[in-house]
Amino acid sequence: MSTYAIGIDLGGTTVKAGLVSIDGKILQQISMPTEADKGPAIVAGQIVKAIKKISSPENDKRIIGVGVATPGIVNTDGNTVEAPPNFKGWVSFPLRDSIAEGLGNNIPLRIENDANAAALAEAKFGAGRGKKNFLFVIWGTGVGGGIIIDGAIYHGPHGGAGEFGHGSIDYEGPECNCGNIGCIESYIGQKYLSARAVRYLETRRDSKVWKLVQNDAAKIEPKVLYEAAMMGDKAATEIMTEAGELLGVAISSFMNIMNFDLAIVGGGISAAGDLVFKPMNQRVKKCVMAPLRPIAQVLPAHLGNQAGILGAAGLVMPE
Amino acid sequence: MSTYAIGIDLGGTTVKAGLVSIDGKILQQISMPTEADKGPAIVAGQIVKAIKKISSPENDKRIIGVGVATPGIVNTDGNTVEAPPNFKGWVSFPLRDSIAEGLGNNIPLRIENDANAAALAEAKFGAGRGKKNFLFVIWGTGVGGGIIIDGAIYHGPHGGAGEFGHGSIDYEGPECNCGNIGCIESYIGQKYLSARAVRYLETRRDSKVWKLVQNDAAKIEPKVLYEAAMMGDKAATEIMTEAGELLGVAISSFMNIMNFDLAIVGGGISAAGDLVFKPMNQRVKKCVMAPLRPIAQVLPAHLGNQAGILGAAGLVMPE
């Protein structure tokens, strides 16, 4: 009889729960409101409800464990979650213990940072299948990441590894919210990339982008840039190409230092496909050191927004 | 009866061999010419001679193993050494097997890249004692490094991890020999730092540096800059401060991504002490992410040019 794992993807507005087979198929999926504004104890309660709802009597005995992908830093104790962005009044909370108590059973239960869980999902079921070492990058609102070493999530000494968006690509660059200077996130994170595009397009009023946004600069965002580029617009293509190149520079530095030959990039903006992956790979081929050059590559993530559930479920699956 | 390990430090001109106690004291040290121009087989022979010479009959039975620190990349097989710089006709050579054959016994024998060995030396006997995770940087002719994770050398998937000098700090920076753009090495490696200093001092003819080098720009190097800075020279102080800051930026990016709180910096230029460590630490305190800020620090290496022998010996010592 086949067995399942439950994967929970905790988001700012929705708790998603999936029943996942050992080979990484989501057989059933439900969702609940997170109620993030009511504080962490209520959120934990919502997660418990979601787990109970998806553990129907006919599934119950075949479930090998529950994994939870959460925003914020998961402490090295595997229990405490610190300061998930957009969760009101959540400073530090024992999420694992709180869910375990709510479940009232001894089912294996693991908590993981959501970017790390997505990296694990790609390692187990996605673009990183069969690859033991890679950098995973989520390129969307921010630039996040996870590091897979020897097939496992690398957490770092304090549980916070993988903050790829806060590596600097310019020591004289703009100051980032995090305190660092020239962080890659402050060039290509959604908000920053949009602002760069507006500046670039101000002197290029003939760009198709302006028509697409009906001359409203506030509506310029990566999706529109992609659309314009697909219509052959030169300026939009240049902006997205540069964004891909910048990410390529940051990835190359990491590859050189860590001796990696693979990065997998997912997240909303990565949906632009070749438009960004081509310049990214060109830059990587140029910028990595000679021994890595023939093998280094950047691949698109495969799992999209299923990565949270799949990675969470993967936490409690056998190797 | 106490036991010893033999540590070999293979350099371009000299093979150094040391008899090292378990607590990291070099009890005896000898050296031999490397004869690098005669090819790898002869070099291996010189290493064997050095090992035999230091294994005097009264020491012989107490030796637990031999470690060799070598330039170049040591393959993941722990045997083959690829392209050590300044070793003529050395493309790829089975150094471990060749030494083992020359020794004709079954003594434990391990080969390691020299920067990695120095990192291990600091972990076991130096500034990293008791620390399980840190970045080791050698700041001299080039900028090299080694990464210690969970108390062990991190080699990366292809054995070449730790190329810290070839992380970029500026996506629009100068092209480095390695192919990458804006590598930290191309700002602060000895030759590059000297060239930066010459450019900076051209418009500052009243700097004490010019007197120290008798107006010969070719003689401007970090040692002279240090000397001038110690005499209160403003321009020299500014150059070295900036160099420390730049290294601080590169270290911070690594700390953010890898969640490290410690870097240890050795090598010739690091001998400038506070002059470079103060700005380096200031930059690190500013640039690392909030959770790391209270604990992140950069320390000077302790072991100087003994690090090669000690790290090599450390390879065959118990944990």
Question: Could you give the strand order of the β-sheet that contains A134-139, starting from the edge strand earlier in sequence?
Answer: A152-153, A143-149, A134-139, A262-266, A297-300
CB atoms within 10 A of CB A89: 11
Residue in the structure block whose two tokens are 């002490």: B273
In a domain, A106, yes or no: yes
In a domain, A17, yes or no: yes
Domain identity same for A73 and A182: no
pLDDT for residue B1: 59
Residue in the structure block whose two tokens are 């009866």: B1
Residue of chain B with shortest Cα separation from A150: B157
Those residues with Cβ within 8 angstroms of residue B141's Cβ, 6 or more apart along the chain or in another chain:
B189, B190, B191, B268
Closest by Cβ to B167, choosing from A161, A253, A259: A253
User: Which CATH number characterizes residue A13's domain?
Assistant: 3.30.420.40
| Per-window interface: B 134-173 vs A, CB < 8 A | 145, 147, 154-164, 166-172
Number of domains in chain A: 2
In a domain, B96, yes or no: yes
Per-residue exposure over B258-296, b if at least 16 CB sit within 10 Å of its own CB, e if not: bbbbbbbbbbbbbbbeebbbebbbebbbbbbbebbeeeb
- Cα separations (Å) of A166 from A186, A270, A295, B304? 8, 18, 26, 32
pLDDT in tens, A262-299: 999 999 999 999 999 999 999 999 999 999 999 999 99
B262 alpha-carbon distance from chain centroid: 16
Domain identity same for A81 and A157: no
Residues from chain A that touch B147, judged by Cβ atoms under 8 A, are 257-258
Measure the CA dihedral A55/A57/A61/A63, to 10°.
-20
d(CA B1, CA B16) in angstroms, rounded, equals 26
* Burial (Cβ within 10 Å: 0-12, 13-18, ≥19) of residue B30: middle
Those residues with Cβ within 8 angstroms of residue A191's Cβ, 6 or more apart along the chain or in another chain:
A141
Domain identity same for A242 and A191: yes
Domain identity same for B283 and B195: yes
Closest by Cβ to B170, choosing from A166, A170, A286: A170
Tokens describing residue A281:
């790979």
- Cα separations (Å) of B98 from A4, B76, B117? 52, 17, 20
Residue of chain B with shortest Cα separation from A290: B178
pLDDT in tens, A97-147: 999 999 998 899 999 999 999 999 999 999 999 999 999 999 999 999 999
Domain identity same for A148 and A278: yes
- B169/A168 touch (CB, cutoff 8 Å), yes or no: yes
d(CA A56, CA B113) in angstroms, rounded, equals 56
* Burial (Cβ within 10 Å: 0-12, 13-18, ≥19) of residue A135: buried
Tokens describing residue B41:
């087989």
Tokens describing residue B65:
């193993």
Domain identity same for B78 and B135: no
pLDDT for residue A1: 59
Q: Which of A256, A286, A289 to mutate to test the interface with B (most CBs of B within 10 A)?
A: A256
Domain identity same for A135 and A20: no
- Cβ atoms of residues A143 and A182 within 8 Å: no
Domain identity same for B158 and B287: yes
d(CA A281, CA B117) in angstroms, rounded, equals 33
Residues from chain A that touch B258, judged by Cβ atoms under 8 A, are 147, 154, 156, 161
Domain identity same for B138 and B286: yes
In a domain, A191, yes or no: yes
Q: What is the largest CA-CA distance in chain A?
A: 64
- The model carries a pTM of 0.96
- Residue B134's DSSP bridge partners are B148
Q: Alpha helix (H) ranges present in A202-315?
A: 208-212, 222-230, 234-258, 274-287, 307-314
- Cβ atoms of residues A147 and A162 within 8 Å: yes
d(CA B8, CA B11) in angstroms, rounded, equals 9
Q: How many residues in total does chain B contain?
A: 319
In a domain, A319, yes or no: no
Number of Cβ pairs < 8 A linking chain A and chain B: 154
d(CA B157, CA B228) in angstroms, rounded, equals 44
- Cβ atoms of residues B64 and B108 within 8 Å: yes
Residues from chain A that touch B260, judged by Cβ atoms under 8 A, are 156-157
Structural domain for B234, as ranges: 130-301
In a domain, B193, yes or no: yes
In a domain, B319, yes or no: no
Residue of chain B with shortest Cα separation from A160: B259
Domain identity same for A294 and A310: no
- Cβ atoms of residues A14 and A32 within 8 Å: yes
Give the residue ranges of chain A where pLDDT is below 70.
1, 59
pLDDT in tens, chain B (319 residues): 579 999 999 999 999 999 999 999 999 999 999 999 999 999 999 999 999 999 877 767 789 999 999 999 999 999 999 989 889 889 999 999 999 999 998 899 999 999 999 999 999 999 999 999 999 999 999 999 999 999 999 999 999 999 999 999 999 999 998 989 999 999 999 999 999 999 999 999 999 999 999 999 999 999 999 999 999 999 999 999 999 999 999 999 999 999 999 999 999 999 999 999 999 999 999 999 999 999 999 999 999 999 999 999 999 998 7
- A256/B147 touch (CB, cutoff 8 Å), yes or no: no
Domain identity same for A113 and A159: no
Domain identity same for B138 and B91: no
Note the ipTM here.
Answer: 0.95
The letter for the amino acid at A215 is N
- Residue B152's DSSP bridge partners are B149
Does A14 touch chain B if contact means CB atoms closer than 8 Å? no
